[in-house]
Amino acid sequence: MPAPEVIRAAAAGALAEDRALEDVTTLATVDANLRGTARFLAKQDGVLAGMGVALEAFRQVDSSVALTTLVREGEAFSRGTVLAEISGPVRAILQGERVALNFLQRLSASATLTRAFVDAVAGTRAVILDTRKTTPGLRDLEKYAVRCGGGTNHRRDLAVMAMIKDNHREALAREGRSLADGVAAIRRRTPGIPVEVEIDSLDQLEAALDANPEWILLDNMTTTDMAQAVRRTKGRARLEASGGVNLETVRPIAETGVDAISVGALTHSATALDISLDLEF
């Protein structure tokens, strides 16, 4: 679960954006004393993520709202499942509804897509990694959703891990420096930080290995070249495959023997899950 302050801030920001406490329709048409119960209902199969922040939205609208979760985070559910129940003032339920659903639908979508990728590589050594291709301001929540789906978080930000990508290589070359020079410079400046080097052809592999990084990223390479990279690396660095990965290609990539496969789609392209909030009196 993300840190409590992350959840509180995300809910507060979304409620402020929606001006939930100024809901001109609800405040005019719903009596302040009217109470009811609402149920989150799954309209399709999925994996749950984000109920904590969804329910926090209701708490911030009205702390008297009673919340009961019926499905655990990271648990698979089928269409027709009631995921949670909310009881309390109808005004509060309606004011928080859209914000709660936005979080729940999108985070559960990432968890569901992640689970599909994880299942697709079952039995291989490869783990499924996320990327930094996240919604601005929601990275910790979206990376949490990936964990709920069984994926592994990788390089949360620019400070926890170094990655020499193609543009960095060009900058180094412009100054007459090698990949090894770049890795050495990172280790001098930030000792203990893991380093990854990106390559896009086998011709670059030996130079990357000589630089002695912890990780080498094989970007948009064929499975034939990936398999050869695995054989030539012989465990000297961990190998991550990336680029154009989908549910049809991920299994063949995993079977090359790479250690990990990164999939940006887990956070930038997951389609919102169909979940409704049904109110009863």
CA gap 279, 87 in Å, rounded: 9
68's tokens: 């009961």
Catalytic annotation present for 219: yes
Please, what's the largest Cα pairwise distance for the chain?
73
- The residue from 133, 156, 187, 238 that is catalytic is 133
- The residue from 97, 142, 196, 219 that is catalytic is 219
Phi-psi region of 234 (alpha: psi -120 to 50; beta: other; left: phi over 0): left
By DSSP bridging, strand 82-89 and strand 66-69 are: antiparallel
CA gap 8, 176 in Å, rounded: 49
Catalytic annotation present for 169: no
CA gap 82, 87 in Å, rounded: 14
Catalytic annotation present for 98: yes
- The residue from 59, 98, 238, 251 that is catalytic is 98
Catalytic annotation present for 255: no
- The residue from 165, 231, 232, 236 that is catalytic is 165
| Residue 279 C-beta-side C-alpha neighbours within 13 Å | 14
Three-class secondary structure of residue 54 per DSSP: helix
CA gap 162, 194 in Å, rounded: 6
Catalytic annotation present for 133: yes
By DSSP bridging, strand 238-242 and strand 215-219 are: parallel
Give the H or E element holding residue 82.
strand 82-89
Q: Which positions are annotated as active-site residues?
A: 98, 133, 165, 198, 219
